[in-house]
Structure 1
């Protein structure tokens, strides 16, 4: 009996072991779960801002673009068709800062290109800094830094995340177009000094001397080679998407009698002086690409496993738009030539960094209004503000109402700055003074709306013009009364286009994303400028800029 029991026990143990072995064998033959990738690691991120690019420049000139520039970004990347600035004023300094900080002037503090500083009692420039000296020239053009920008940028966050190993280089013709995207901790920011210099320069904020490759570029004849007539890329008869070449809505180059192609004034052709004029031609964008590619090569960007960042701003499109206007053949030619330069840039990224190894985004710092004189001739409501007459009438009102004009400290950038100390000394109520002034200015010709600082302080607007003004209004830096012109009305000469308003022609700009970690597709859902930085940060798996108010665009990320 004992033997039978022993046999039964041994049989049971053998059966259990066989079953366990079979289960164990099946388990090891099943596919093992792969670890999830929670962030992308492109070798290089390239941020591109096209100064004064309306969204409809993509669609208007689409049939003229080649396959390797704008069309490549759209067809192989992601197109946000309903992309907007969610604040005003829509200007270059705030635009570049907002793209890279992921927030609005209310938080990052760059409320305009220039503004009245209430503490220093003077006008200040968004990037000026007397604490630093120019590198690369003897002028004051390099006394610059990002110190007026109050928050971090996505480029700063990349530097912090990689323990300063990820390199950040920023390039633009305009100083603010390089300095603000580069953030506070960029390895270098370079901008182009025109005038008699025609050289790329920097600031002691970044370096004490230019790298040898920059010096070599400056000493070459690369820039001088662009001192040539500006002719159209294609037969001008094909440019049916723009107005007449000879019209009264455009400005002239020096020595010109008509604003027509070819632009070949003596200054444009001179080899010894006046490089400033190159900014007003598409050649300024070509010079920018030339220099950016030198930076790509000589700074070894995108050559290892740590993500680098190249920030590029194309400024010539803004200069050309201001001079010739939205509907000009010059603007059309500028974008066709920029398309060629974009193809050249992308091809070099393919070669130097590798196809599928980099990520690109392209957007703008603001749009632009069509020339109001042209709109009026098309029976569309538009016009010009007579600011001198407005100020004279306004000061008469202030003198009559308060007995002194000393209550006004400054009037600029569609804002009135009051002297709070004098108002307090006169025992007046600040809120009431703001309201009285706002009501007075609302009656002026060309003004559509006015808002007071008290309104923006006390209320939270979620839509419409007041929402955009509130996002652009900084409590410590902005004025007491804000003015909004009628749609199509501007404070500008009667030739050329400008920008700055909360109107849709100034807010609607492109956003194209392409490359590693980016889906192919498009959306007509509203996206906003502050969404760009957190989208790139989410893709990279790095911290968001510390003032971020935007949201990652989920549809974009692969």
Structure 2
């Protein structure tokens, strides 16, 4: 009996020690800071195709308080953000923003490039192993397989064991697919042949009901039927040139490039034209809102990501140029669309519960005709004649037909197999090509890409070209044009250079844990993904070379 009593006493003592230890542990834990990672309900990344940095401010006197002005007032703007590579094209920009990398690493060196092994041009998002979903066209034979590194959207999926939802939306396939990444739940883009929003079997075998229902509404026709007139009286567009300029491009069926633009002509016939009017952006953001609601993005307790790209700004910019009434009107309308989108996000999540950022894939040059009209340097450049001349020369000297296969992404591509078979002097061919291009008035320089380190070139431009060079996919000779000289026709404009008008882009964060402010320190497009990674406490993308914008992330 005594032994039994002693056993009970011992057990009671041990139990009291255990309880005391648990209380002590809880007390200690309560004093420790929480280790739970805090993240927003959703991240929304928006790329405005061909948005020059100065558009943030150029039309600000007519922006609403809830659109671009709100973004600048409530957000944090890295005012001197640049693209650190060339060529500054759409696919490269979208890929680099989301990979935090450059074409040399992520492999997206252009919208297209010449593949010397396949002996043909390759489109950045092409994939013949998949099928179109949503139409009977070939517009859906696309996937991100040509992108060689992960994206920040991929890394979010990995960090949450694929619980986060990621969706990409853009009129352009490349503007949707590349940002959404390799592991996206979905990516949707617009098929100008069918008038439908589509995807590919890379993502799904069937469109979700909400996309099918939207397609059945044929909203594209409703937008086209509105035509395109100015939002305000045309005489009030004082920041633009006169409406009828010879260097602005006409749309099909137009006698002159002037308002009102008769888009009603294309309803039910040419759906592709929606891309060339501001309502293309409106339709894109309408689908983005529908995706948020239908897919319940941001409602699961795990951070989701919506990547949106507004493409109509690019089509309008190419056709009319940065100083046109058309581009001013497009941004005034986009400003109102942004205000509506922000109000939607506020109502859906509450202010401060979503992280939003905006940037651009590239800027744009002034239209050459505009520059000439105002006595500014610039011009247009074409290389077809010089290439024809060089091919004739090399054929007569080495008996090689078409020594220069093509010119793409400011690069000359040689027929290496033919040169080797002819036992021709490859170094002499390169020297002759460089010498001939250097004679042209609009060419600043030409040099051998394999010997770029030896080129006498401004260091920033040399670095930019190096970052854009991928040994597997790039060409042989780089043609550097003079500032404000563009490749293309005499109407409209384009982009692609490393000069500021093409490479200086907006970079503004707003919402979750973002304190209003600005920095004039130089940052790069590649810093965007690194910054998001720091804010979300996740790994940077696999090929990321960017650095967090510490002026914004120091609080994390």
TM-score (norm 1): 0.90
Give every structure 1 segment of 4 or more consecutive aligned residues whose post-TM-superposition deviation is greater than 6 Å.
Answer: 29-32, 457-462
Report the CA distance between 1:235 and its aligned residue: 2.0
Deviations 1:246-295 (A, max 9, x none): 11121112222221111125514x3x221211110000000001100000
Alignment partner of 1:305 out of 301, 308, 321: 301
Equivalence map 1:365-404=2 (5 Å): 365-400=361-396, 402-404=398-400
The verdict on how the C-alpha distance between 1:550 and 1:462 changes in structure 2, with shifts beyond 3 A counting, is farther
Equivalence map 1:66-145=2 (5 Å): 66-145=64-143
Report the CA distance between 1:431 and its aligned residue: 4.7
Query: Which residue pairs with 1:23 in the alignment?
Result: none
The verdict on how the C-alpha distance between 1:337 and 1:432 changes in structure 2, with shifts beyond 3 A counting, is same
Alignment partner of 1:283 out of 275, 279, 286: 279
Query: Which residue pairs with 1:242 in the alignment?
Result: 240
Report the CA distance between 1:517 and its aligned residue: 2.4
On the 8 A contact 2:395/2:403 being kept in 1, the answer is no
Equivalence map 1:367-516=2 (5 Å): 367-400=363-396, 402-427=398-423, 430-431=426-427, 433-456=429-452, 463-516=459-512
Q: Greater shift after overlay, 378-387 or 334-343?
A: 378-387
Q: Distance in 1 between matches of 2:381 and 2:184?
A: 40
Q: Distance in 2 between matches of 1:461 and 1:444?
A: 18
Aligned residues: 528
Q: Distance in 1 between matches of 2:230 and 2:512?
A: 35
Report the CA distance between 1:465 and its aligned residue: 1.4
Query: Which residue pairs with 1:146 in the alignment?
Result: 144
Q: Greater shift after overlay, 168-177 or 238-247?
A: 238-247
SS at structure 2 position matched to 1:330: helix
Q: Runs of 5+ in structure 1 lacking a partner?
A: 1-28
Query: Which residue pairs with 1:26 in the alignment?
Result: none
On the 8 A contact 2:434/2:477 being kept in 1, the answer is yes
The verdict on how the C-alpha distance between 1:410 and 1:254 changes in structure 2, with shifts beyond 3 A counting, is closer
Query: Which residue pairs with 2:22 in the alignment?
Result: none
The verdict on how the C-alpha distance between 1:340 and 1:429 changes in structure 2, with shifts beyond 3 A counting, is same
SS at structure 2 position matched to 1:81: strand
The reply on whether 1:319 has 2:310 as its aligned counterpart is no
On the 8 A contact 2:363/2:504 being kept in 1, the answer is yes
Query: Which residue pairs with 2:538 in the alignment?
Result: 542
Query: Which residue pairs with 1:178 in the alignment?
Result: 176
SS at structure 2 position matched to 1:295: helix
Alignment partner of 2:201 out of 196, 199, 204: 204
SS at structure 1 position matched to 2:219: coil
Q: Greater shift after overlay, 530-539 or 512-521?
A: 512-521
Report the CA distance between 1:420 and its aligned residue: 3.0
Q: Distance in 2 between matches of 1:51 and 1:222?
A: 22
CA RMSD of aligned residues (A): 2.2
On the 8 A contact 1:461/1:470 being kept in 2, the answer is no
Q: Distance in 1 between matches of 2:513 and 2:431?
A: 50
Alignment partner of 1:523 out of 503, 519, 522: 519
Deviations 1:65-117 (A, max 9, x none): 10111111110011111111010000001110000000100000011001111
On the 8 A contact 2:529/2:541 being kept in 1, the answer is yes
On the 8 A contact 1:256/1:265 being kept in 2, the answer is no
On the 8 A contact 1:38/1:541 being kept in 2, the answer is no
Q: Distance in 2 between matches of 1:35 and 1:313?
A: 39
Query: Which residue pairs with 2:56 in the alignment?
Result: 58
TM-score (norm 2): 0.91
SS at structure 2 position matched to 1:288: helix
Query: Which residue pairs with 1:264 in the alignment?
Result: 262
SS at structure 1 position matched to 2:526: helix
Alignment partner of 2:342 out of 343, 346, 359: 346
Deviations 1:416-443 (A, max 9, x none): 1123334344445645543442233222
The reply on whether 1:224 has 2:210 as its aligned counterpart is no
Q: Distance in 2 between matches of 1:189 and 1:512?
A: 24
